Each structure stands twice: as structure tokens, then as C-alpha cells.
Amino acid sequence: MEHILHLKCLICGREYQPDEVAYVCPEHGNEGILDVVYDYGRIAPHISPASLAANRETSIWRYKPLLPVAPDTAVPPLAVGWTPLYKVDRLAIELGLAYVWVKDDGRNPTASFKDRASAMAVVKAREVSGNQVSGDQVSSVESPHHLVTLSPHHPIITTASTGNAAAALAGLCASVGQPNVIFVPASAPQAKVAQLLAFGSTVMLVDGTYDDAFDLCLQAAAEFGWYNRNTGYNPYMTEGKKTVSYEIAEQLGWQAPDVVFVSVGDGCIIGGVHKGFKDLLALGWIDRMPRLIGVQAAGSNYLAEAWAKGEDVLTKPPIKAETVADSISAGLPRDRLKAMTAVTQTNGAFITVTDEEILAAIPALAQGSGVFAEPAGAAAYAGLVKAAHEGLVQPTDQIVVINTGSGLKDVAAAMKAVQGVGVRPYLIQPKLTNVKEILKTLIL
Amino acid sequence: MEHILHLKCLICGREYQPDEVAYVCPEHGNEGILDVVYDYGRIAPHISPASLAANRETSIWRYKPLLPVAPDTAVPPLAVGWTPLYKVDRLAIELGLAYVWVKDDGRNPTASFKDRASAMAVVKAREVSGNQVSGDQVSSVESPHHLVTLSPHHPIITTASTGNAAAALAGLCASVGQPNVIFVPASAPQAKVAQLLAFGSTVMLVDGTYDDAFDLCLQAAAEFGWYNRNTGYNPYMTEGKKTVSYEIAEQLGWQAPDVVFVSVGDGCIIGGVHKGFKDLLALGWIDRMPRLIGVQAAGSNYLAEAWAKGEDVLTKPPIKAETVADSISAGLPRDRLKAMTAVTQTNGAFITVTDEEILAAIPALAQGSGVFAEPAGAAAYAGLVKAAHEGLVQPTDQIVVINTGSGLKDVAAAMKAVQGVGVRPYLIQPKLTNVKEILKTLIL
């Protein structure tokens, strides 16, 4: 993989070769998240807007030369990415805007954005197990720079997740028969747990928060030598997630939008969005960096608060997170450095939205676009609504809102959302007169 | 639309011009389902395997010249169809087979196959409202050959559904701001009802069966002049559904598989699958017709029983249908003529599977392929399992199994399915010792 120059610590800037470290900077432990730095000069001969125009691959792997994998690396079969980008003129008009698109990442195989990262995790885990056949050494928390060692035949991949990353890993693993162990908070919506079990994952329902599940997963991975897919820890997850920006730019005809709205929990998605556009700028395929707007739930606003107050996210203590948008509930955002950088370097902003605003955004988005989002996905649209009302976007801005998960992931929240706006079904006996009675009360 | 020769009654063979009738043959009322007959000679100059190879449209509309729409017809923005076809070698090996693919139609916008038909419904309704601006005449049940008349500004589309067709219509309508009224049995899974309400549909929860909801919807459509999307009634729904066969053939390199497994409720999907392959045979793009295997739930086996006993489906009375696979629960399959023809003309078969077999197929399919199906989708795979065990397919047959809906559509069934095979999550306190204790009991 000569197209990778090195992995660079976000804190100290120290550089490592990919085979020198497993996940994080040895100098900075779990906070020492690494960025994958590419040699764009080596990449450019292998991919271009012209070559992509002729490429019929409709998944993230159409961008393989830009990803941290070898050209001949096998990838899982599930078709991840290349999700639709819809221009939503009715919603734009309502908000006094001219150009709004929704990127519907609920259309991924397990119905969330996280498939982009989990596909990468499966590939990287298999690389490790292929290269490292000595199955009985294990890395440890004390020496995180040791290479992970996995059994060559049955390496286990693990992750902690509020639910979507777990389901994504479970589905991608199932597609290749890959054993995996998942740690989710016991409060995860039933749909997400059902997905995990159906896919055959070993599921640990942790009686605690996502943050508890995350810490436990790190310990277990180190103890048992499992490949660790955790967001905000494994440097390659950002590299999967960045593909969304490639797709947005390509779907807009290799134009970057002016503004991108994305909901933020751990911060890994917005970090990935940033990385994708940075790659494209470096390659000269787009001519500007969009402003990135991170939307947080008011009850899980670590980053928004830090940004507003100018706090140092390396020292700011965890908060207690609670929001209806379970996917972005994070008391200590693990990818907070990348998220903060994404917003500050792009002249962006953090916005908070209340649970009520998030729930109201579910039917608003669904009815205005045909895109049914889970709370965390709708939160991004709630952020746009707020930004439009507060003048944080210009009427002629080209704006992309990323929906990060399908509404089917959390039906209870959707029911609460429609009840919140007074919508209900009409229970009737099967007689036409009953239909007539109801129609008298309606304006259709 | 010169590429349409006529609409032909499945019972009497009488032919009508598209503007002569609304939905069904006037001579045969609700049973007089019409088939759209094309002039392939007029179609062939406009589309070919070669032109498709260069076509970057990744939706059913890539096949527009083969569909009953004008070339310049506007279509709803949601990206319907062009769903993945996965080769599932691990499952094939388990079953003693060599070539098995899963067509994952759970990847459609509202997560079911029915989006293919609902997209067509929205297009056809808008055609009608555009052509017929006299908004206050209504058609009636007594004169079904009258053209439907809709308000030009707010035509209403209606359908009855076990849930998926409704969600599909709701989503497609929402994508273009199209009012709609939906009739579903009150027993529909909550996820499907939540989708409808989020999309802003007017939802009538009918205290009765799907068959009751269907009859009520027909009455209401006639009474109020609504455009009627009902499957097994509106001739164009088959034309949307047939696109799945185009995709299968194209994804296999313009080869028809030997056998296709598809679950059957009303029979419209299998009718559509048949129509698609018939079109391709007529065009000479494939050289054989696959055997079509209709899989019914044992508790909703109208067609399987009629087929096994050689009964006439025009006179066979309704049965009482009850199955965990709500999407294929139909006491009187509305498209029974097309379904029966699809099986008999292709040397196919009907197979029944029990609710237990259907539920067991959910984790089996998910773990073997990464495709998480709702019960009706998993039923098709359960049918393949049964067929393989009973020698109804040959080891070297090329076999496609269509998953018609996402498992997220019915999470309760998925939970029941995994519990049925003894799978459960492990509820633990966030301590590594707890993880160790559990791992001792597992083989990963």
C-alpha cells in the first residue's frame, strides 16, 4: 500500500507506518487517534472523475484507490454506499432556501451510514489475520502500539455501539461468515438488537451507557486479541466514512456544496465527511471546502458546548448524555478531535436541537422528501431548520443534509414523533359509511 | 405510447386501448385483470443490452422504454430498484447446491419490493390527473370501465395493503407531495403503520382482514374518484414489478437463471416476475424462461392448494388466511390468475412452508448472506430449503431467491425467530470478568 505515507497522531503529529501501530498513537493512548495520510501523487494515476464516469461499481469500492486497501483486496459482498442524493425543493422553499439535497444513507445494507465503516473494518481485520498468523499473542491496553494478533481462521471482530455500528458490523460480518462480538448499551432500540441477533453476532447488552460499553469493548479486545472496529479508535473507520463526501461531490457533478449538515455523537461521521472533502481538494477534483455543521442533541451536546465555550476537548470531562436520538448519545465523543477540527477548519459550526425538534423533523423530512429517518438522521434536518430560521445559512447556499439512518431502526420514536404532531390512524369497521364520516373531518 | 398494443383481459382475451378502460375488463369486473401487451418491434430500437451497459441510471427507470410510460414522463425522485443480487455460496453449499443468488429487494426506498409498483402508480395517477381535468365526475363500482377522474391539483391515490404496498405508496407519494389514503388491516406491524403516518398518509386501520381492507378500498376509490393502486386490479402494478426480472437477467449478464423462488400472497409479484422474463424472451435478450416457484405460507395457501388440486381459481372460494408472514397473508389472492399462469406456464411449482420454517429462515438467511429479511422475504428462502431437501431443484441449477422486504419491517417477528433458535443477548454489568465468564460458555 504505497499510496499511504503514514499514520499521523492528531495530538503530537508523530508519524507511524501502518505496520508500526495497531490503532492509536503509543504516546497518547486512547486519545491518540491517528489520521491516515496519503500520497496523492501515487493515487491520481489510478482514479479520476473521468475514470469514475465509466465505472459501474455502485458501492464505496468504486473509490478503492482512495481507500487504505490494496488494489487486489477482497471486499465483503454487501453493496455499501452510493446512496441516493435527492434534491428536496419543497423543503427548501419552506425554509426560504434554494438548493437543498438529502443524502439518504438509510439506504445502506443494514440501514445506516455505519456500513461504510464496518465494511472497511471487515477488510482490515482480514488483512491483519492474513498477515499475522501467530494466533496466541495478544495486544494489551498497556501496549496499544503492539500489532493486533488474531487467529488466522476465526479472527473475531468487536465493536461497541449505540446500535447502528453494531448492526453494520454484524451484517457485514455475516456476509463473509466472520465471527464477531458486539457491546451495546442495554437501552438500545429493539430493532437494532434484533438485527444483531439475526446476523448471528454474540451480543453483550451492557447495563450502562454507550461510554461504558465502549470502555468494556476496548478492554475485551485487548484482553482477547480481537480486531477492534471502534469508532474514534480504529483509524480506518474514518476512511470508510469519508466515501460519503466522494459520493456527494460526484453526484453533484464534482462540485462541493456550500454547507453540509450532519448529526454528531462520537464525531466520527463528521470527521469522515471532512476527510473525504480534504482528499478531493488535495486531488483538485473540487475547488472549495464546504462548511461543516455538526448537529448535536441538546441532551448530548459535549462538542457543541466545547465549541461554543472554546474548551479543550482533551481535558473537558465527560457529560451525562441523554437524548431520543440514541445513535448520537455520547457523553465523551471518542472522535472529538476530528469532529472539532472538521468544524473549525471549515468555518462551520455546532448546533444543538432539542428532542422535540428532532422528533418533529422525522415527519417533516419524510413528508417533504420521502426519506424516513431515525431520530439521529432527522436531527441533521432539524439542524438545518434551526440554521435557516437563525440565518446561519444563506438563501442561495447549496446545502446537503445527511440522513444517517432509516426510520425503521427506531419505530417507537417514529410513533412518538407522529403522535407529537397530532397524527393518528383511523380505526374503522370495514364499511364505506365509516370512510365517509372520517373524510368529512379531513382536508386532503 | 405507441409501444403498447392493448390491454388484454386474462379471462376472455378481449383487448382494450389503454384509454378505453380504467383498470379491469368491463365484461369481468374485479376478476377481469388486464395484461399490458407491447409491440416489441417498436421498443427494440430504443433499448438493448448494449445501451443498458452504458446507462448510469440505477433505478427501474433505466428500463423506461419497456414500461407503460411515455419517454418524457416525469418519475418520482426516490431511487427504486436496481437492488443488489448476491451470490451466496455458503448457503448454497449447506443446501447441496452450486449456484444460489439472493436478490435483496429490502434495499428499496421504503424497504420492500412494493416500491417498484408504487413508483408506477404515482406516475400513472399523474398521467390520469393531467389528462382528465374535469374533477367532479367519479367512476363507480358499477361501471369500472369508466376512466378515473381526479382533481388535477390534488388527485388522491389509494391502496389497500398488508403494509408494504401501503408504505411504498406513502413514501413514493411523499416524494412528490401527492395526497393518498391507505387501508390496512388493524393487525399490520407497527413499523409499517409508523412509516405510513410519518409519510403523511391518511391511514384507515380496518378492523378486519386484508381482504376486507381491499374490498373497502375498491369501494372508496370508486365512490370518491381516487386513483386505485391496488395490486391484482390496476394493470400497471405488474409492469412496475416486472423490473425485478430485468435486473436479475442483467446482473447475471443477460442470462436467465434456471429457477426463481418468490413468496406469494396476492400473486402480483410472481406475476410481475413472469412478465419481466416474458418481455426479455420476446426481445431475444434471454434464451429460456426460468421455472418460477411460488412459496406460500402453510396458513395462507390458497394458490398452492388450487395448484395441487387442479382447482379453478375463478371459482375457488376464499380461505381464512393466517401466518406470521403478514405480507403474504391473503385469503383470496387478487392476482391469482397471473400467479397461477406464472407457475404453470414455466413448469414451476407452488410450495408451502410453515410459520416455524419461515421464522427459522430469517436467521439462516441473515447469517448466511448478510441479508436480513422480513418473514415474507425469508419465506422464499424457506421454500428453497424445502425444495433442496425434497429434490425439487437440481444441484447445478442456477437459482435466484427474491427477498421482498427488510427484516426491519417486522422486528417482533425477528425477535421471535431468534428466540426460536435459542439465540439471546447476554445482559452484563460493564466489567471484563463478566465478559470472560460468558466467553467460557461459547464457541465463537
Q: Encode pLDDT of B328-356 as tens digits.
A: 999 999 999 999 999 999 999 999 999 99
Contact B199 A439 (CB under 8 A): no
Chain A environment of B442 (Cβ under 8 Å): 202
Q: Under DSSP, is residue B428 helix (H, G, I), strand (E, B) or coil?
A: strand
> Of all residues in chain A, what percent are helix, strand and coil, respectively (each to 5)?
45, 15, 40
Q: Does B74 touch chain A (CB under 8 A)?
A: no
Interface A:B, Cβ pairs < 8 A? 241
Model confidence pLDDT, tens digit, residues B364-387: 999 999 999 999 999 999 999 999
B-chain residue closest to A198, CA distance: B363
CATH entry, B85-107+238-420, from 3.40.50.1100, 2.60.40.10, 3.10.250.10, 3.30.420.40: 3.40.50.1100
The residue among B180, B411, B442 with the most chain A CBs within 10 A of its CB, best to mutate, is B411
Q: What is the pLDDT of residue B130?
A: 66
Chain A environment of B80 (Cβ under 8 Å): none
Q: Under DSSP, is residue B389 helix (H, G, I), strand (E, B) or coil?
A: helix
Q: Identify residue A123 by its one-letter amino acid code.
A: V
Contact B175 A86 (CB under 8 A): yes
Of A56, A177, A407, the CB nearest to B198: A407
Distances, alpha carbon A167 to alpha carbons A112, A335, B8, B120, B322, in Å: 9, 20, 47, 32, 31
* pLDDT above 90 for B59: yes
Q: What angle (nearest 5°) sits at the alpha carbon of residue B345, between those of residues B343 and B347?
A: 65
Distance of alpha carbon A108 from alpha carbon A105, whole angstroms: 6
Helices B432-440, A210-224: axis angle to 10 degrees equals 60
Chain A environment of B362 (Cβ under 8 Å): 198
Contact B86 A202 (CB under 8 A): no
CB contact burial B175-214 (16+ within 10 A = b; e otherwise): bbebbbbbbbbbbbbebbbbbbbbbbbbbbbbbbbbbbbb
Q: Does A186 touch chain B (CB under 8 A)?
A: yes
Q: Identify residue B389 by its one-letter amino acid code.
A: H
Distance of alpha carbon B124 from alpha carbon B236, whole angstroms: 8
Distance of alpha carbon B241 from alpha carbon B60, whole angstroms: 9
Interface of B with A in 145-184 (CB under 8 A): 154, 156, 171-177, 179, 181
Pick from B264, B249, B275, B269: nearest CA to B382? B264
Distance of alpha carbon B137 from alpha carbon B150, whole angstroms: 8
Distance of alpha carbon B417 from alpha carbon B143, whole angstroms: 46
Distance of alpha carbon A239 from alpha carbon B385, whole angstroms: 39
Identify the DSSP state of A163. Answer: S
Residue B89: its H or E element: helix B89-94
Q: What is the pLDDT of residue A130?
A: 66
Q: Does B5 touch chain A (CB under 8 A)?
A: no
Residues whose CB falls within 8 Å of the CB of residue A198, separated by 6 or more in sequence, listed in order: B362, B363, B366, B367, B372, B407, B414, B417, B418
Distance of alpha carbon A138 from alpha carbon A228, whole angstroms: 12
For chain A, which residues score pLDDT lower than 70? 130-154
Q: What is the pLDDT of residue B139?
A: 31
Pick from B204, B72, B50, B186: nearest CA to B130? B72
Q: Under DSSP, is residue B182 helix (H, G, I), strand (E, B) or coil?
A: strand
Q: Domain residue spans in chain B? A: 85-107+238-420
Q: Any bridge partners for residue B296, and if so which?
A: B352
Chain B environment of A418 (Cβ under 8 Å): 194, 197-198
Distances, alpha carbon B258 to alpha carbons B87, B217, B337, B352, B372, in Å: 15, 38, 23, 20, 24
Q: What is the pLDDT of residue B191?
A: 83
- Cell 374533477 -> residue: B135
Identify the DSSP state of A212. Answer: H
Contact B408 A111 (CB under 8 A): yes
Distances, alpha carbon A377 to alpha carbons A297, A380, B266, B311, in Å: 11, 6, 34, 51
Identify the DSSP state of A373. Answer: B
Contact B216 A435 (CB under 8 A): yes
Instruction: Please state, as a whole number, how many other Cβ atoms lie within 10 Å of the Cβ of residue A302.
Output: 26
Q: What angle (nearest 5°) sits at the alpha carbon of residue A85, between those of residues A353 and B249?
A: 140
Which top CATH class is A85-110+238-420? alpha beta
Instruction: Please state, as a whole number, how many other Cβ atoms lie within 10 Å of the Cβ of residue B320.
Output: 9
* pLDDT above 50 for B408: yes
Of A171, A408, A427, the CB nearest to B205: A427
Of B203, B208, B367, the CB nearest to A199: B367
B253: cell is 449478464
Ranking A110-114, B146-150, B166-170, B370-374 by mean pLDDT, the lowest is B146-150
Residue B269, phi-psi category: left (phi > 0), alpha (psi -120 to 50), beta (remainder): alpha
Interface of A with B in 34-73 (CB under 8 A): 53, 56, 58
Contact B216 A82 (CB under 8 A): no
Distance from CA of B417 to the nearest CA of A (A): 8
CB contact burial A332-343 (16+ within 10 A = b; e otherwise): bbbbbbbbbbbb
Distance of alpha carbon A282 from alpha carbon B125, whole angstroms: 48
Q: Does B409 touch chain A (CB under 8 A)?
A: yes
Contact B428 A193 (CB under 8 A): no
* pLDDT above 50 for B227: yes
Model confidence pLDDT, tens digit, residues B60-102: 999 999 999 999 889 999 999 999 999 999 999 999 999 999 9
Distance of alpha carbon B126 from alpha carbon B150, whole angstroms: 9
Rounded percentage of chain B residues whose pLDDT exceeds 90: 85
Distance from CA of B427 to the nearest CA of A (A): 5
Pick from B18, B21, B24: nearest CA to B218? B24
Residue B357: its H or E element: helix B355-369
Query: What DSSP string describes B127-154?
Result: HHHHH---TT---BTTBTTSPP---SSS
Q: What is the pLDDT of residue A106?
A: 98
Q: What is the pLDDT of residue B155?
A: 80
C-alpha radius of gyration, chain A, whole number: 22
A179: cell is 465471527
